[in-house]
Structure 1
């Protein structure tokens, strides 16, 4: 098995390039079609892994009901919103918006989770993070040249993740099913949700360009399926605290990929604001030191891929 540092770097690259792959896919196919393809191939990878490990899908009507909500909030909805947003905004901006999830998560957890208490460091991180968002968007210029709708969709996608985390933490955190089983069921339900919606709002493409198809297959198989398996291995080996640090590399890689591969323009405020967002997000995830070992919880975050029923969040 590869050293965990190499797998950490691989996961950062996979999730960082996911936004570029979304952009390429939406150049030929409707956003819902890109999302459906992504979920289908991601589910296929997890299905193979479950067969190899002889895992079974979860059972129980209540469990499947909660998984359906998790599938919508953590996969179907944010994946679709990011795909729609990249019709009008650069993949670099979408990747940076994705990094705001920990900021939204802190705000929501303070309201919804009674055990979460604000600290000076976390409040400072929250303020710093949103200052970074304003820097990225060029607030002092009146947001000129910025597509408000696309940016709002990307930020809404990022907000959907922590809403889903809270749901998972309250309803599925104590499940006796394995992470692989729960996530396989969740992605299967998300795929079904998109399979029902997509034909209603889209039509069959007249042409099937090869490059966008390859982008969608890669996005699903690597960016969703394989990335989840790599992430689970990292959490098991080095713990959620170290594994979640991959979140802070994703917007950097997404920005570099968008500029180098797609030729997207980059104003000075974008990388500067992205750094501020990352620092702020890191501060909001800080926890007071405890004398007893902590256990992995639903706040551990790792991208584009959306969160999972195990309480771990992969990236888009």
Structure 2
């Protein structure tokens, strides 16, 4: 094995670990938001997690002695990303969880690949899905349907009353799907590493999030240890380090396949509920989880093929063809 292949294999393995860590942290984020709602308004949760995340990433930037980019066009594009991948979906999910269970919210989060597929022809004409990738996405969708057990929801008055919240969840995943494609078209290929891009986005989102103050951001809070720890975890892990991992996965795998990270969120939510909250696990939950994992494997064209590949897409720090960053 030559040095180039070795480096490609090592990079692929690191991306896989980033994918798994991201799945765990973002899956747990819905539980953290639900706990945070015990003492905070949705707007306060959004501001708290973003500011914790911004401080974390700014500290990492300082420790690693990275320099902030000076390209004004790049900063302009990152403002769009800060809104569509940060403030907007965070606000929608936090508001939705007032009426939607955290597990159901995590299941809706798994529709991000569907949104990505719907938006790809409009935002990113140069990227097309292979049959294996499309098949993997469809398998994952089947797993999410089994995991959500729609036959259990029929006749549920509580869930029927949460329709606005469920629509808000879909709005959030629409934002996620759009932002991933926007990054691929307008941001990647400029020679900026994933950590710097993550820090730019969240640090831009921090002042934007202050616009939520008139919408419940100033109401009295009920501080408790679980609430504080949940918001800190949302910020440091779910909004800080998770963004570094996400940008790495997105840059290596592409928008559609990177969005399959959301398939594992329902699985993580079920496990956390059973282990930490003593929730009962029904037969369809592990079955759906296995189907979801099968979809992820299929979308990545199998573990063996993925290990042989050096890079399905250009890494973030390398120059990319002009077609990937056109119209900037």
**Structure 1 length-normalised TM:** 0.77
1:113 is aligned to 2:117: no
Q: Counterpart in 1 of 2:205?
A: 190
| Alignment CA distance shift 1:167-1:99 (3 Å) | same
Question: Hey, what does 1:166 align to over in structure 2?
Answer: 181
Larger deviation, residues 56-65 vs 157-166: 56-65
Tell me if the contact between 2:110 and 2:144 (Cα under 8 Å) persists in the aligned partners. Answer: no
Aligned to 1:35: 46
Q: Distance in 2 between matches of 1:221 and 1:87?
A: 23
Answer with 1 or 2: which has the greater Rg.
2
Shift of 1:234: 8.2
Local SS of the residue matching 1:189: helix
Pairing 1:296–2:319 present:
no
Choose which of 9, 28, 47 in structure 2 pairs with 1:17: 28
Corresponding residue for residue 61 of structure 1: 72
CA RMSD of aligned residues (A): 3.7
Gaps of 5+ in 1: 300-310, 312-316
Pick closer, same or farther for the CA change 1:149–1:266 going to 2, 3 Å. farther
Q: Report the alpha carbon displacement of residue 148 of structure 1 after superposing the two structures with TM.
A: 2.3
> Residues of 2 paired with 1:285 and 1:159: CA distance?
22
Aligned to 2:97: 86
In 2, the alpha carbon distance for the partners of 1:179 and 1:118 equals 24
| Conservation of the 8 A alpha-carbon contact between 1:124 and 1:280 | yes
Q: 1:150 to 1:273 in 2, by over 3 A?
A: farther
Report Cα offsets for 1:45-95 as digits up to 9, x if no partner: 111111111112222332221111011111111111121222122222222
The answer to whether 1:49 aligns with 2:65 is no
Counterparts of 1:12 and 1:118 in 2: how far apart (Å)? 22
Q: Is the 8 A contact 1:104 1:162 kept in 2?
A: yes
1:196 positional shift: 1.8
What is the distance in 1 between the residues matched to 2:120 and 2:98? 31
1:101 counterpart residue number: 112
Please report the TM-score for the alignment, with normalisation by the length of structure 2: 0.74
Per-residue displacement from partner, 1:149-186 (whole Å, max 9, x unpaired)? 22222232122112011111121112233322222111
- 1:257 match: 272
Which structure has more helix as a fraction of its residues? 2
Query: Secondary structure of 1:192's partner?
Result: helix
1:6-65 superposed Cα distances (whole Å, 9 cap, x missing partner):
877655433332211111001211111101100100111111111111112222332221
Show CA shifts across 1:277-311 (max 9, x none). Answer: 55445545559x89985353599xxxxxxxxxxx9
Residue pair 1:22, 1:86 contacting (<8 A) in 2 also: yes
Q: How many aligned positions are there?
A: 294
Contact 1:137 1:143 (8 Å CA) reproduced: no
Instruction: Tell me the equivalent position of 1:314.
Output: none
Q: Kindly indicate whether residue 37 of structure 2 is the aligned counterpart of residue 26 of structure 1.
A: yes
- Contact 2:146–2:288 under 8 Å retained in 1: yes
- The answer to whether the 8 A contact 2:40-2:222 is kept is no
Question: Quick check: 2:86–2:202 contact (8 Å CA) kept in 1?
Answer: yes
Deviation at residue 101 of structure 1 after TM alignment: 1.5
Do the aligned partners of 1:102 and 1:281 also contact (CA within 8 Å) in 2? Answer: no
Aligned-partner SS, 2:240: helix
Rate the CA distance shift 1:6–1:61 in 2: closer, same or farther, 3 A: closer
Match runs of 1:236-255 below 5 Å: 240=253, 248-255=263-270
